[in-house]
Structure 1
Amino acid sequence: MSDRLSVCIVAYHNYDDIENAIRTMEKYTSSNISKKVYVVDNGNTPDVEKENKEFVHFLKNYPDVIYVDAKKNLGFGGGHNKVLQYLDSEYHCIMNPDILFFEDAFKSILRYMDDNKQVGMVIPNIVDEQNHRQLVYRKELTVFDMFIRMFAKNLFPKRIASHTLQDMDYSKPFQVPFGQGSFLVIRTELFKQINGFDDRFFMYLEDADLCKRVNEVSKLMYYPGASVIHKWEQGSHKNRQLFKYHVQSMKYYFNKWGWKWK
């Protein structure tokens, strides 16, 4: 029998975060929602052998959690696609390791999607640990907006506010061109129909690409009736290798969708 929900979290040495994510998800999610939670490990390397064993032992506390060793680093999209063949659910959640629950977010999201068949994917109210809404709702990407975000954040506040949809009424649902991929709930049938993520993005902008493809055939909607916490460590701004991945993804994204400058 199909599950109501599947969830996928991609791990890369961040076992403590995922343990906290799973603890809070299991605490607040109704037992009436049948689910499977896949943890795809992109980073089971010899230097974390001890931590990995402790983590796998922890996961055994939860019968609905399935550990998948990817054997290598598949990237964000590739890691999520690893479970595509196993999914037998009505809805699927793409979830970052640094998500925390403080309410039954899934219950209200699934009810909203049940009632709105034209909605293919949902991004809820995503807040930080001080309950401030994060700027994860955006217009379609342009080269100019990516440049501002990476190099000139303080110089174009009005442009940033426009790009991150700060003038929207967040008390009501609205369609989102690009929702950051830390927490997205998609109809599993749709996720399979569009073949999951384009895993030619190793890391970064695979979520923008996914949202664009969803909006071509359905709707990605912001839904205010559910909230989750996202700790959100923006690694590419601090790490040279991650920055390189970000630039490579930008080049691939704009080659794929066209170089929209402004």
Structure 2
Amino acid sequence: MPINVSIVIYKHTVAEIQPLVDVLREADCVSEIFLIDNSPFRQDQFVDLGVTYIFNNQNIGYGAAHNIAIRRTLEQNIPYHLVLNPDIIFQSEILAKIDAFMNNNSNIGLLMPKVYYPNGEIQYLCKLLPTPFDLIFRRFLPKAWTKKRADVFELRASGYNRIMDVPYLSGCFMFLKTESVREVGLFDERFFMYPEDIDLTRRMHQKYRTVFYPQVSVVHQHAQGSYVVGRLLFIHMKNMIKYFNKWGWFFDAERRIINNETLKQLK
């Protein structure tokens, strides 16, 4: 079935984006590629890539920018929408495999493949719903003190080698069923950056399956910018506070229930 794809860019060059666009254009199932530009300057040369180029003239945030394209997909009634980071590398044939799997499992609203670093190490992006400790406090503690809890939070005991229902999937590659988005809503635009994927996965998980699908994989050149850039750390903290203000800090009964159910499937 047809798939629309959205990629949000910020001060990227054509040379950086073209390889990903070329891969997407190789896939027969891809209908339209949206390039949403949050840069402070317009770059008309992106139009030559054969994409739908949308210039926002300001950085409106990750989720808000993707929402522009997702709304178009909803209007067009395209069955699936892929939210994609610009630093993702993969082979075009995986999209057909994901498409087929989603077609055979109509109760899945969101899917994420296995994700690797460029050096071949797994990125542990399947996670439980976070507590304030998981997203805020542990950032300021030695890793040795938090490793055991982090291993549980990132579901490492699963081995990342089986299909799993996961309540928090990464926003770097979100394969969405359009009708599920129509029901649960778009990215929450209160979050400028970072927790928008937690929030959307959680809302999706309430009504649909949100699945880790390790039968296909991608490479993510993930830099963890908020760990090294002070301004990004501030943005991260600010938006995490917004997330917990929305869902609850220490008293979140739904979080406890969902996390317990997630851990049970691993036994």
For 1:241 and 1:147, how far apart are their aligned partners in 2?
16
1:159-238 equivalence runs, <5 A: 159-238=149-228
For 2:71 and 2:154, how far apart are their aligned partners in 1?
34
For 1:126 and 1:149, how far apart are their aligned partners in 2?
23
Q: Does 1:76 align with 2:59?
A: no
Shift of 1:34: 4.1
* Residues 124-170 of structure 1 deviation map (CA, whole Å, 9 limit, x = unaligned): 01111122210111111111111355222342211111111100143
Does the residue aligned with 2:11 lie in a helix, a strand or coil?
coil
Which of 114, 125, 128 is equivalent to 2:114?
A: 125
Does the residue aligned with 1:244 lie in a helix, a strand or coil?
helix
Note closer, same or farther for the CA distance 1:148–1:103 as it changes in structure 2 (3 Å cut). farther
Q: Which amino acid aligns with 2:220?
A: H
* Residues 173-208 of structure 1 deviation map (CA, whole Å, 9 limit, x = unaligned): 110110111001010121232221000001110110
Partner of 2:48: 60
Contact 1:139/1:165 (8 A) holds in 2: yes
Shift of 1:233: 1.1
Partner of 2:35: 39
Note closer, same or farther for the CA distance 1:150–1:125 as it changes in structure 2 (3 Å cut). same
For 1:61 and 1:80, how far apart are their aligned partners in 2?
19
Partner of 2:263: none
Contact 2:18/2:49 (8 A) holds in 1: no
Which of 139, 143, 153 is equivalent to 2:132?
A: 143
Does the residue aligned with 1:177 lie in a helix, a strand or coil?
coil
- Mean CA deviation greater in 131-140 or 212-221: 131-140
Does the residue aligned with 1:67 lie in a helix, a strand or coil?
strand
Q: Does 1:9 align with 2:7?
A: yes
For 2:192 and 2:97, how far apart are their aligned partners in 1?
32
Does the residue aligned with 1:102 lie in a helix, a strand or coil?
coil
Partner of 1:249: 239
Partner of 2:91: 102
Contact 1:103/1:227 (8 A) holds in 2: no
Does the residue aligned with 1:229 lie in a helix, a strand or coil?
strand
* Residues 32-59 of structure 1 deviation map (CA, whole Å, 9 limit, x = unaligned): x1411101000142xxx6xx244x2xx4
Aligned residues: 247
What is the percent sequence identity of the aligned residues?
Answer: 30
Q: Which amino acid aligns with 2:82?
A: C
The two structures have a TM-score, normalised by structure 1, of 0.88
Q: Does 1:85 align with 2:84?
A: no
Does the residue aligned with 1:83 lie in a helix, a strand or coil?
helix
Contact 2:5/2:30 (8 A) holds in 1: no
